[in-house]
Amino acid sequence: MAKRISLREFQQDLTKRLAEMSASGRRSALLAVTAGGENWLVDLSDAGEIIAAPSLTEVPLTRNWFRGLANVRGNLFSVVDLAAFCGDPLPPLTNDSRMMLIGAKHGLHTALLVSRALGLRNPDDFEVDESFTDSRPWIGGALRDHQNRLWKQLVVRPLLSDPRFLDAGADLR
């Protein structure tokens, strides 16, 4: 029978292993997600906790990409739909929709809603796409996998400080 461990022990062990990886200079694993029709990679250390999308409470007079508020274990998180924030049509919530609690590491109760979490990816499985350009400071470039699919790199800290991201109020002028 497998040894049973508590969630707290698991999280402490995972935190310890991530710290050891950082100290050893090894490249961090990447979390692969889809938002709308685009593929995204997020450094695992910035992804935060990934949870199934709970019910959301809509907030009136906000932009369409601000999906509302979510109660996560008694804490309210503002929820931004990544696809809609990038200008795509607002995707429907499905059983595959996930929330990444990206702001928790930075002291913010902010979550990104994505269409699907695809799991971890090894950075060595990608090649830099030199032809990709995007002026948004929270996009750290693009990579291509072995099937030549484009993956945009999401950089969390610049996203959390982007003036547009911080202004969820609807423009009523």
* Domain range annotation of the chain: 35-166
Mean pLDDT of the chain: 90
Q: Where does the chain show beta strands of DSSP type E?
A: 30-35, 38-43, 50-52, 66-72, 75-81, 98-100, 110-114, 116-121, 127-128, 139-144, 150-154
Q: State pTM to two decimals.
A: 0.82
Close Cβ partners of 142 (under 8 Å, ≥ 6 residues apart) = 128, 129, 132, 134, 150, 151, 152, 153
Note the pLDDT of residue 13.
74
Cα Rg of the chain (Å, integer): 17
Summarize pLDDT for 83-134 with one digit per residue, the tens: 999 999 999 999 999 999 999 889 999 999 999 999 999 999 999 999 999 9
Note the pLDDT of residue 2.
55
Query: 109 with 75: CB under 8 angstroms?
Result: yes
* pLDDT beyond 90 at 168: yes
Tell me which residue of 134, 163, 164, 135 sits closest to 151, measured CA to CA: 134
d(CA 106, CA 72) in angstroms, rounded, equals 17
**Structural domain 35-166, CATH architecture:** Beta Barrel (2.40)
* pLDDT beyond 60 at 1: no
Q: What is the arithmetic mean of pLDDT over 61-69? A: 97
Task: State CA 162 to chain mean position distance.
Answer: 15
Q: Kindly list the distances between the CA atom of residue 21 and the CA atoms of 15, 24, 26, 29, in Å, as whole numbers in the listed order.
A: 10, 5, 6, 10
* pLDDT beyond 90 at 19: no
Tell me which residue of 111, 66, 60 sits closest to 85, measured CA to CA: 66
Note the pLDDT of residue 3.
63
* pLDDT beyond 80 at 20: no
